[in-house]
Amino acid sequence: MNAADSPDFDPSLTGSADAGLFGIATRLDTARLAIIPVPWEVTTSYGNGTSRGPEAIRRASPQLDLHLRNLADHYRQGFHLLAEDAEIAELNGRYKPVAEAIQAHLEETGSLAGRPDLVAALADVNTASQRVNDLVYQWSRELDAAGKVVALVGGDHSSPYGLIRHLAEKYRGELGVLHIDAHHDLRDGYQGFRFSHASIFHNVMNLPVAPRRLVQVGIRDFSAEECQLAEADPRIAVFYDEDIKDALYGGKPYAAIAADIVAALPANVHVSFDIDGLRPDLCPHTGTPVAGGLEFDQARYLIAALVNSGRRIVGFDLCEVCPDPGNPDNEWDGNVGARILFLLASWMMESQGRD
């Protein structure tokens, strides 16, 4: 039984966000896709608010009309956003100010020397981050075992570590990650935070069972060390934003660029989508916006090209969506996030339908 057969499934496109994601009432037991919300942003190093991303997306999601001309109405299989985990929310509230105190001291002095209290606090933050990773990992495994396709909405970009860990183990040696972002996220323990948002793919690629390939797209803000690491690791392929734009300006069709990106990936793919991979006018309140980036339709085309190539999306995450801190009625960031979420979910179901 899927959500479309459930008596409480309402295909209306004008529902309330209180009814469910995209204004549609779904139940976990009948939904095909389970989306884990992770309200976590303890290690963010610039702007704040991404812990409210899942709620901002849910609140804005009924604004969408859900028919896509080139796809079946896959939302009828049930796109179910789970309730936020109370422990993760509590840990975020407790340790965010702790991490901010550490960051402020580092910015002022460059070191934690002579501050054993902050060294201990840093260890506490790392322990809390590990706990969040473990909760997401356990949640992902349980939902998968229950027959659900699993995705995640952050939170900062450290949020999907547990989901990617699970998928890497499930598809041992045969998982690729398509990473759309302004940043490499390859730093080693950024600011001392072992599971920093800036370290997610350093950590992922050092898992005991790691993805076979990491393909990064739209990268345009990075350290020299990250560039060197990416160049030295044969598992990592990078399509820098400036190279994409130079190729376009030189006359190369975007279709050919997308084909090159897709060709670097294996058959099973997790899509890790940081909203700052898009142009910053599309996500103005994200934590670390960077000039440049993909157009919305370039991202849409790439996701479609991935699935049309015969590859299968086995998981995805969408991170770093932030609501406007100065105007709670401004739903622009949530609206764009909801549209990316709907595209990812729909194309994922399209690829899953080939099983």
pTM for the whole structure: 0.94
DSSP 18-70: GGSGGG----TTT-SEEEEEE---TT--S---GGGHHHHHHHHGGG-----TT
- Give me the phi and psi of 80, to 5 degrees please: -105, 120
Looking at 1.10.150.20, 3.40.800.10, 3.30.870.10, 3.40.50.1000, the CATH number of the domain 3-352 comes to 3.40.800.10
Smallest CA-to-CA distance from 237 within 193, 292, 314, 179 is with: 179
**Per-residue pLDDT of the chain in tens (355 residues, 90 and over written 9):** 344 444 444 554 447 888 899 999 999 999 999 999 999 999 887 668 889 999 999 999 999 999 999 899 999 999 999 999 999 999 999 999 999 999 999 989 998 989 999 999 999 999 999 999 999 999 999 999 999 999 999 999 999 999 999 999 999 989 999 999 999 999 998 888 999 999 999 999 999 999 999 999 999 999 999 999 999 999 999 999 999 999 999 999 999 999 999 999 999 999 999 999 999 999 999 988 999 999 999 999 999 999 999 999 999 999 999 999 889 889 999 999 999 999 999 999 999 974 4
Smallest CA-to-CA distance from 52 within 41, 64, 63, 36 is with: 41
Task: Give me the residue spans of the domains in the chain.
Answer: 3-352
